[in-house]
Amino acid sequence: MMVDILCGLLAGSLSSKDILPMYTSSIKEKRYISHFFMVIDIKHFIEVNVFKKQLQDIVDRLRDLPTISQDITVMVPGDPEKKCYDIRIKEGIPIEEIKYEEFLTTSSMFKEVIE
C-alpha cells in the first residue's frame, strides 16, 4: 500500500491495480509508471555514528542467527554481492569462449577507428 501511495498517488500517477500488465498488454500502450525517491538525512534523527553502530549491531545479530545447515550462512543485503566480488577479484569474471572471441573481434574494430 505504501508503494502505491508514494509511487502512484503522491506522484500524481496510477496505483498498481490501474497500471497495464507488463507482459500481456501491447508494448505500444503507455503504462504511466511513476517513481518515488526519498532521501533521509540521518543526523536530523540521531547521531550518525550511533545510527551506524546500531545498524551494525542489527546486521551482526541477523548474521548470527542459526541456519538449517552449517554450509549456509545468513546474509543481509549486499553480502551476496561482496561474496561474488571477492571471487571475481581472485578468479576473474567467467565468460563463455564464444563471447570472449566476440569481444576481441569487436574491440579490434574499435582500435582501428581510434588509430
The candidate with the shortest Cα–Cα distance to 7, out of 102, 15, 86, is: 15
Same-domain check for residues 51 and 20: no
CB 13 within 8 A of CB 34: yes
Same-domain check for residues 115 and 86: yes
Domain count, the chain: 3
Same-domain check for residues 72 and 89: no
Model confidence at 56: pLDDT above 90: yes
Please indicate, yes or no, whether the overall pTM of this predicted structure exceeds 0.75: no
Q: What is the mean pLDDT of the chain?
A: 91
pLDDT, mean of residues 75-87: 97
CB 67 within 8 A of CB 74: yes
**C-alpha separations of 45 from 8, 24, 48, 51, 55 in Å:** 27, 45, 9, 9, 14
Same-domain check for residues 4 and 33: yes
Q: Is 43 helix (H, G, I), strand (E, B) or coil?
A: helix
Same-domain check for residues 89 and 111: yes
Same-domain check for residues 85 and 56: no
The domain of 96 spans: 80-115
Same-domain check for residues 96 and 114: yes
CA distance 55 to 57: 5
What digits encode the pLDDT tens for the residues 10-50? 988 999 899 998 889 988 888 888 989 999 999 999 999 99
